[in-house]
Amino acid sequence: MNLFDKVSEDIKDAMRAKDKVRLEALRGAKKEFIEAKTSKEGHGELEDDTAIKILQKMVKQRKDSAEIYVSQNRQDLAEKELAEVAVLEGYLPKQLTAEELEAKLKAIITQVGASGPADMGKVMGVATKELAGLAAGRAISETVKKLLS
C-alpha cells in the first residue's frame, strides 16, 4: 500500500474515531497529494518519495507556524499545529540521530574526497540525494559545515 492509499484509509479510521486533529492533518496531506498528482509534473501518479517530500514540507510549515504562535503568546494555536506535526511525522521515515548523521556524512566526505570548506558544494550534492527523507536539509548543511572546517 502506497502512502496515498494509507493516508486515505487512515482518514476513514480518524472519522470513525472522531479524532478531529488527526482527521484535519490527514485531510490536509491528502489535499496536497491530490494537487501533486494532478499537476503537470505528476502525470496522474504520486510516488512515495514525492509524498514524503510533501509531508516534510507540511511538517516544517507547521513547526514554523507553531514558533510564530508561541512568540505571539497564542499557545492554543501552537499546540494545535504541533499536534498535527505529530500526526504527520508518523508517516515519515525515521530521522537519523545527530551521531548517525555525522557518521554518514563522514563517509560521504571521504567518498567525494572533500578536504575543506571549499568542497562543501560537492559534499552537499551527494549528501542531499543519499540522505533525502532521513535528515533535514538544515541539519545536513550545518553538520557538513562543522566537519569541513
* More confidently predicted of 117 and 74: 74
Q: List, for residues 23-35, the tens digit of each pLDDT value.
A: 999 999 999 999 9
pTM, entire model: 0.75
Query: How is the chain split into domains, by residue range?
Result: 3-90, 98-148
Residue 142 amino acid letter: E
Cβ(62)–Cβ(84) under 8 Å?
A: yes
Q: List, for residues 46-75, the tens digit of each pLDDT value.
A: 888 888 889 989 999 999 999 999 999 999
| 5 Cα distance to chain centroid | 19
Q: Distances from the Cα of 16 to the Cαs of 5, 11, 20, 94, in angstroms?
A: 17, 9, 10, 28
Residue 99 has pLDDT above 70, yes or no: yes
How is domain 98-148 classified at the CATH fold level? Arc Repressor Mutant, subunit A (1.10.10)
Spatial CB neighbours of 10, under 8 Å, sequence gap ≥ 6: 22, 26
One CATH from 3.40.720.10, 1.10.1510.10, 3.40.30.10, 1.20.140.10 for 3-90:
1.10.1510.10
